[in-house]
Structure 1
């Protein structure tokens, strides 16, 4: 159906946290082929499903059946928004996760009037599972209720009028959802990793940052694994918290102790923005017992001087920044550990890291004093060069140590000066 009657909307979308007798789930949907809010949706409509019936009769399943029945190409990008009276049940969440895995270029946002069984562990896990699958979950605010009233209700030109305790109900549900989703995810779905961590020089459509972390405690000079997990950008426009800030908030409130030394490692899909870089640098300056290493798949706006300065500020406070190679990947943070061939790394990304620029690109496979040629063993390979092999470089006083780096097996290597090079 295209719209619902006013009394249906007011009765079923009331945001009272606990309501009895609402045995239907109503789902208003909007499908766009472009994210631009000024563009008209490709399609809109309303589905109604029975809450206590079999999952195939739930509103979410009706939508997925309709969407997939249109035989839309999987390589096309779609932005889907659901406005639902109840959050999905665990069975529907499993199907939605499968759908998102099969359609990696679909972005799904779910705005819910109420949380279904939010006190039950299985339903709470289902909400986390949605986020892990890449869906965005939030509580409907006044603007979204008014939007639904305008676009999915036979409103007869009348404005939306909120009910008694509307704001209090929203505040409670918003806080409850935030508490459910505040802790890091244990892992991400494989399709999320392959899409968001692909090390493209310019990655269009990757407008989220995913941050995988590993925290180790230093005991007797040896790192002991402590905690690990995954954060993504907070979608809620009120908090709009980047993944780096979410980690710092969680780390400071749940783990950090001034009596312990920590080694923290991040694997990020994008390097930090200037604001996040500044906050992280400030954090490191205040906590000398924390050492941070950042492996990033891509550099965010690497041509912008503000972003470059942000990375330099991190480096100045002792953070180690590196481009992710094949070994430093996040496969252990994926819910499926199946291997996949690596991508070749972009040389321009490596050039943007803090430190001396690459020197003397060109053939250097056979070097004097080395018994065998240095050959790449895969799509990404590097080999250290001792001082004695290259006492000096043309046009440079740098005497090593150096790193010989192949960007692909078929190309000539590039020579990089390493820390300590003068």
Structure 2
């Protein structure tokens, strides 16, 4: 689909693509560009990714580059670029955004995503971390963001209708994004859990901070997929293959001691 400039997004498309409890096979992106301290937008619209051609982020960036070239705006003037996305950007789009920001230092980017795009993919994680390093405001959309997006890009005269589990999924995605943006890689060879018989866990990576629930004689590891593995004693070694993500709370630090 071509870029729709200064056009309202159809209501049914908004609810279909931005619903954070369902999956979609395309990315919808609504954007606005305005001068710093100015309310009125200089450029706005929406677009979808073009399969096998261009991603939605690249389509918008090309349009902004064209706008700057044709209108010859003051290079000192600061601009705010706001993106409302049905999915967070993939690694390649993160790179495109990063390169654009490096060449256009006048841009202050604010990105709001309804869902995370393959958040366990290490390349996508690195891309999001790169954007954070460049000062991009990255956020998972909550109810207020959905309301703002609906008001600004769909219909300012109608009330946004919340779908079931919107807030629950927003909290879950927010926790996952926070973990990605703040993760610390730990290279521990082994861990001893004081409440469990000596268990040697071969770990290459640990994502921080996440969640661990401990019980006497048993360790429960809660994964991103909202499933849980119950591991007893040395039997844990049969459950693990290669690297894995162990969710930890800082308050549980006293439950384990790295050694070796």
After superposition, residues 63-82 of structure 1 pair within 5 angstroms as 63-70=60-67, 71=69, 72-82=73-83
CA RMSD after TM alignment: 2.4
After superposition, residues 39-58 of structure 1 pair within 5 angstroms as 39-50=39-50, 52-54=51-53, 57-58=54-55
After superposition, residues 278-297 of structure 1 pair within 5 angstroms as none
Q: 5+ unaligned residues in a row in structure 1: which ranges?
A: 186-252, 258-422
Do the aligned residues in 2 keep the contact of 1:74 with 1:102 (CA within 8 Å)? Answer: no
Q: In 2, Cα distance between the equivalents of 1:138 and 1:35?
A: 21
After superposition, residues 321-332 of structure 1 pair within 5 angstroms as none
The alpha-carbon deviation at position 153 of structure 1 amounts to 1.2
Do the aligned residues in 2 keep the contact of 1:100 with 1:134 (CA within 8 Å)? Answer: no
Q: In 2, Cα distance between the equivalents of 1:184 and 1:121?
A: 13
1:9 pairs with 2:14: yes
The alpha-carbon deviation at position 137 of structure 1 amounts to 0.7
Which residue is 2:205 aligned to?
none
Which residue is 1:111 aligned to?
112
TM-score, normalised relative to structure 2: 0.64
Q: 5+ unaligned residues in a row in structure 2: which ranges?
A: 186-249, 255-260
- Select the structure of larger CA radius of gyration: 1
Which residue is 1:240 aligned to?
none
Larger RCO (CA within 8 A; separation ≥ 6): 2
The alpha-carbon deviation at position 32 of structure 1 amounts to 1.4
1:130 pairs with 2:131: yes
Do the aligned residues in 2 keep the contact of 1:33 with 1:42 (CA within 8 Å)? Answer: yes
Q: Decide which structure has greater helix share.
A: 2
Per-residue Cα deviation, 1:269-300 (whole angstroms, up to 9, x for no partner): xxxxxxxxxxxxxxxxxxxxxxxxxxxxxxxx
Instruction: Decide which of 23, 26, 37 is 2:25's aligned counterpart.
Output: 23
Which residue is 2:164 aligned to?
164
After superposition, residues 283-322 of structure 1 pair within 5 angstroms as none
* Residue correspondences, number: 181
1:113 counterpart SS class? strand
Do the aligned residues in 2 keep the contact of 1:29 with 1:81 (CA within 8 Å)? Answer: yes
The alpha-carbon deviation at position 108 of structure 1 amounts to 0.3
The alpha-carbon deviation at position 133 of structure 1 amounts to 2.5
Q: In 1, Cα distance between the equivalents of 2:74 and 2:58?
A: 19
Per-residue Cα deviation, 1:180-200 (whole angstroms, up to 9, x for no partner): 112479xxxxxxxxxxxxxxx
Do the aligned residues in 1 keep the contact of 2:35 with 2:80 (CA within 8 Å)? Answer: yes
Do the aligned residues in 1 keep the contact of 2:36 with 2:77 (CA within 8 Å)? Answer: no
The alpha-carbon deviation at position 134 of structure 1 amounts to 2.4
1:46 counterpart SS class? strand
Which residue is 2:142 aligned to?
141
